[in-house]
Amino acid sequence: MEKKMLNGLFTLCMVSLPFLFKGSKMRENLVVFFSKGVLATLIDAYVVGSKRVKYPVRPFPKIFGINIIYNMLFFPLLSVIWVKLSYNDKLGKIILKSMMFSIPMSFAQWYLEKNSRLFKWKKWSIFHTFGSVSFTLFTIRGFVALMKRLDKLKNTYLNGDTN
């Protein structure tokens, strides 16, 4: 059952790729995707290495201790969607939209931990998941805000408007 779930998640991610990476913000979407993949992988490698979480069923188990589909595809794709949804929002709406992602993800992981062999929590809880999901979402969103600010400065400089 778990292998089918992972295959389904992989298929869903691959089908959604062309729809998420089109349009004028492709560069930012790619930066979000790859930076979120790196951040999620680093955090998960630490969590697995410190034996807080274990992935009994995962792709390439002899090579990776983490679930690479989640860290390098699913979570980065969700982050691209989240950044698209919150791109022009102020902090209050960003926090609200973050909750729309982090709360369901936390409950989904809690449910799957209890009812599947995809992962097992040892020194981990639903609150850790909520905190780590929220932290990575805000980190990536802050990175996007920084990119927007740098683009604005660059455009101001290139246009000769130094006011």
Tens-digit pLDDT profile for the chain (163 aa)? 999 999 999 999 999 998 888 888 888 899 999 999 999 999 999 999 999 999 999 999 999 999 999 999 999 999 999 999 998 899 899 999 999 999 999 999 999 999 999 999 999 999 999 999 999 999 999 998 898 888 888 888 777 665 5
Q: How far apart are CA 92 and CA 153, in angstroms?
A: 25
Tokens representing 64 are 């990776």
Ordered by start, the domain boundaries in the chain are: 2-158
Containing H/E element for 121?
strand 120-121
Q: What is the pTM of this model?
A: 0.87
The 10 Å Cβ neighbour count of residue 41 is 18
* Residue matched to tokens 């683009």: 151
CB-based contacts of 153, cutoff 8 Å, min separation 6: none
Alpha helices in 66-125 (DSSP H): 68-69, 75-86, 91-115
Tokens representing 74 are 């699913």
Beta strands at 120-121 and 53-54: parallel, antiparallel or unpaired: antiparallel
